Structures are given as structure tokens and as C-alpha cells.
Structure 1
């Protein structure tokens, strides 16, 4: 027997904005919404999701854990443009200019990466 990831948690001053961004970015849906937070995930409830939890303070340091995304059914450049249009921003966390990924942040500054190789190119 082993453990399974049930959910990742993201702290947010504005959980609705962060949950909406990730739902659009991942084509997920809200599974549950309560005062204690918003649970989002893919249509299959057996798959892990993300819990967006309210906190009073804004993010101040680089994330210790982040998501790596890969374009699926489109090019990496098209996916980068889509994520930027959804509200992501490019960020510098000290990566060198020749890395094969793009570091981005969601509307509250939580970093994530868009990998340079699309799913269909693996």
C-alpha cells in the first residue's frame, strides 16, 4: 500500500480569482466551494485536484513546490499565449535564459512552468 495525492493546495487572498484561472488553464471545474476554500479538479473525481484556500497575506517568496504544465493538442507557443491571455505573467526566479521551459505566475504570483515540449511531441 502507498499514499496517493488527493489534492495540491494553493493559498490565495482571492480564492475565486485563483480558482477561476486554474479552471480555465487546465479545463477543470469547481468540485466544491465553501467558506474554507474552493476545490477544483478534472471531471473524474478520482483524479487529484487543487484546493484553493483563503489566507490573509499575499505571497512574498518563491514557491517551494510548483506545477509543470505541458501543451496538449496545441503548440507550446500557442499555449503560452493562451495562458498569458488568461492572466498568467512571465516571472524570473533565477532561471537561465536557455532553459527549455517558461516560468509563469498565476494572478496571485504562484509560479508554474510551461515545459518546452508539447504532449503530442513526446
Structure 2
């Protein structure tokens, strides 16, 4: 048997606010919360389902005292499914994302952005029909 990728943990100052941002971006819902921790996902995992097959991971936002200081070594790539990439970037900016420069250069097929706490992510090509 192997391991399963079950959660992506994100250190942050404000778990509630960052979870709310990512819920809007990904159409996820809050599935659990405790002091200093908010978990979001597209489903509520059960041990039996996770054992049976690989399921989409959840995201856990954990409160930490320190701030982000350098470029992420791991980041999310997202693809819009019902609009153009440009329209999705506009929506994300309205949610509190910013455009980010991590040295990617001007001629890329993706756009680097940052969430409200500065964590980089990329917006890829649209998957809209």
C-alpha cells in the first residue's frame, strides 16, 4: 500500500480570511475548523473513501506567527473552467489577489499571482469550451 495526498497545509496569519479567499477561487467549502485552523475542500473526506482511492486533497490553513519571507518552493496552478484566463484574472484581483513577479519574464503562457497573504500561484490557460 502507498500513502495518499490528503491535505495541502498553508501557514498564514489569518486562516479564516485566507480560507474564504480560496473557497471563492476554487468553489470549495469549509469542512472543518478549530482554533487557528480552517480546512476547506470540494468534499468531506472519510477514511474509507481515502483508503479506497485517491481523492482530491483538501487545504488546511494554519495560523503561524511569522510572515512569508521568500518565494514559495511549492505553489498551486489553477485553470479557469468557465471563462477566459483574462476574465479569471480580473475575478481573482477582485477577490484580493495581486499580480506577482517572481522573475518569470514577460512571454509566458501563464500568469503568476499571489493570494492576500502573498503566497504565489499560477493561472494557466482556460479549460472553458
Whether the TM-score (by the shorter chain) exceeds 0.5 is yes
Q: What is the correspondence of 1:89-104 to structure 2 with a 5 Å cutoff?
A: 89-104=98-113
Q: Of 77, 81, 84, which residue of structure 2 is paired with 1:75?
A: 84
Counterpart in the other structure of 1:35: 35
Runs of 4+ in 1 over 4 A off after TM superposition: none
Separation in structure 2 between the aligned mates of residue 98 and residue 41 of structure 1, nearest angstrom: 33
TM-score (norm 2): 0.88
Separation in structure 2 between the aligned mates of residue 79 and residue 67 of structure 1, nearest angstrom: 15
Q: Of 109, 120, 128, which residue of structure 2 is paired with 1:120?
A: 128
Counterpart in the other structure of 2:12: 12
For the aligned residues, what is the CA RMSD?
A: 1.3
The runs of 5 or more residues in structure 1 that have no matched partner are none
SS of the equivalent of 1:120 reads coil
SS of the equivalent of 1:119 reads coil
Q: Is the 8 A contact 2:100 2:114 kept in 1?
A: yes
